[in-house]
């Protein structure tokens, strides 16, 4: 259960008391505030606060571009132009603060994105809850044979059952022993900062995570991508849906110019230009390595 009744009543209280502000307000984002969007079996993403909206991006850009822009281009068009030409600073003028509950092995991938502010629940100071991520059967995938860091078919039958019961039993036992080591009944009780080392990487932690829209888009491009690990991708997907409501124009530009975009190398540009002129280009005549050609052909097809 991602949110307990106590937490829910705090959320309800916050959502029941709107206040007046002179700041920019995004109606699409207000409806998400504080609500826990469930992710995985016990995780969530909650919007705690935000700054700015689509108009704030335009407003910041117009300081940098000066008066006169207004007449020639509407807001959505300017946002598309900024995104297309990699003008990142106006997108940095929006900020979002999320409360995220997530397994530690996901948190370790996430934290590699350094341009963000983080406050994590401390296992030195507090006792962690007994909550572990156990994959749903349809996400229990075999190691890919082709790709060192990928997944293949879903495990089936006895193997799947064996894996699930190992994960559950080991997590439960590790937590029992964590509690036993911490216990101060009839013994001193091990320090929290030491006892936590017994807990596995699928235990849940939580943090406040704050970043600007430009860096959030960078995170989403890498983590909502099909090559990202499923367990972080579902968080990125949940955030994508939130951002689409918060800054609809910026998100649409992001989808077109980042998520759905394709980067062509100089060699790739050359191959496509030759093909458009009617030439048949093969890997041998492309100048690309086999691996690169394979990735290229996945988008553009092989020459017949």
Query: CB of residue 232 vs its own copies: minimum separation in angstroms?
Result: 10
What does the alpha-carbon distance between residue 68 and residue 81 come to, in Å, rounded to a whole number?
A: 16
* Positions in 7-36 near its own copies (CB under 8 A): 14-15, 17-25, 30, 33-34
Known binder of ligand: residue 111?
yes
Encoding tokens for residue 187? 């013994």
Task: Identify which of residues 132 and 239 has a Cβ nearer to its own copies in the complex.
Answer: 132
Known binder of ligand: residue 127?
no
* Residue 114 lies near its own copies (rule: CB under 8 A): yes
What does the alpha-carbon distance between residue 187 and residue 165 come to, in Å, rounded to a whole number?
A: 32
Q: Report phi then psi at 57, rounded to 5.
A: -65, -45
Known binder of ligand: residue 231?
no
* Residue 136 lies near its own copies (rule: CB under 8 A): no
Encoding tokens for residue 283? 């890997």
Known binder of ligand: residue 50?
no
Selected binder of its own copies within 8, 12, 108, 241 (CB under 8 A): 108
* Residue 255 lies near its own copies (rule: CB under 8 A): yes
Residue 157, class by beta-carbon neighbours within 10 Å (0-12 exposed, 13-18 middle, 19+ buried)? exposed
Q: Are 119 and 203 in contact (CB under 8 A)?
A: no
Task: Tell me how many residues contact its own copies (CB under 8 A).
Answer: 136
Known catalytic residue: 223? yes
Known binder of ligand: residue 123?
yes
* Positions in 156-215 near its own copies (CB under 8 A): 156, 159, 162-163, 166-167, 170-171, 173-174, 177, 180-182, 184, 187-194, 196-202, 206-208, 210, 212
What does the alpha-carbon distance between residue 1 and residue 142 come to, in Å, rounded to a whole number?
A: 28
What does the alpha-carbon distance between residue 42 and residue 135 come to, in Å, rounded to a whole number?
A: 11
> What is the total residue count of the chain?
304
* Residue 92 lies near its own copies (rule: CB under 8 A): yes
What does the alpha-carbon distance between residue 170 and residue 176 come to, in Å, rounded to a whole number?
A: 10
Instruction: Using the Cα atoms of residue 225, residue 34, residue 252 and residue 94 in order, give the sign of their dihedral.
Output: negative
Query: CB of residue 135 vs its own copies: minimum separation in angstroms?
Result: 6
* Residue 67 lies near its own copies (rule: CB under 8 A): yes
The active-site residue, picked from 23, 108, 223, 274, is: 223
Catalytic residues, by residue number, are 223
């Amino acid at each position: 259960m991602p949110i307990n009744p106590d937490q829910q009543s705090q959320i309800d209280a916050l959502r029941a008391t709107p206040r007046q502000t002179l700041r920019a307000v995004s109606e699409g984002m207000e409806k998400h505030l504080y609500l826990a969007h469930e992710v995985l079996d016990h995780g969530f993403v909650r919007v705690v606060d935000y700054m700015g909206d689509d108009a704030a991006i335009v407003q910041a850009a117009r300081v940098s571009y000066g008066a006169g822009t207004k007449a020639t281009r509407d807001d959505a068009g300017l946002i598309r132009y900024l995104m297309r030409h990699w003008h990142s600073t106006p997108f940095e003028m929006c900020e979002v603060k999320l409360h995220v509950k997530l397994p530690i092995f996901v948190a370790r991938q996430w934290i590699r994105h350094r341009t963000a502010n983080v406050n994590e629940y401390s296992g030195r100071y507090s006792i962690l809850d007994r909550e572990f991520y156990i994959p749903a059967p349809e996400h229990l995938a075999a190691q890919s044979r082709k790709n060192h860091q990928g997944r293949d078919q879903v495990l089936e039958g006895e193997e799947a059952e064996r894996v699930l019961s190992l994960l559950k039993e080991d997590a439960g036992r590790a937590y029992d022993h964590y509690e036993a080591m911490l216990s101060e009944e009839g013994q001193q009780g091990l320090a929290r900062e030491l006892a936590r080392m017994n807990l596995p990487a699928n235990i849940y932690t939580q943090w406040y995570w704050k970043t600007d829209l430009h860096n959030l888009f960078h995170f989403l491009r890498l983590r909502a991508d099909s090559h990202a690990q499923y367990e972080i991708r579902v968080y990125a997907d949940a955030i994508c849906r939130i951002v689409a409501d918060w800054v609809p124009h910026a998100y649409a530009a992001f989808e077109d110019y980042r998520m759905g975009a394709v980067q062509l190398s100089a060699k790739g540009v050359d191959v496509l230009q030759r093909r458009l002129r009617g030439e048949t280009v093969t890997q041998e005549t492309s100048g690309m390595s086999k691996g690169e050609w394979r990735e290229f052909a996945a988008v553009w097809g092989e020459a017949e």
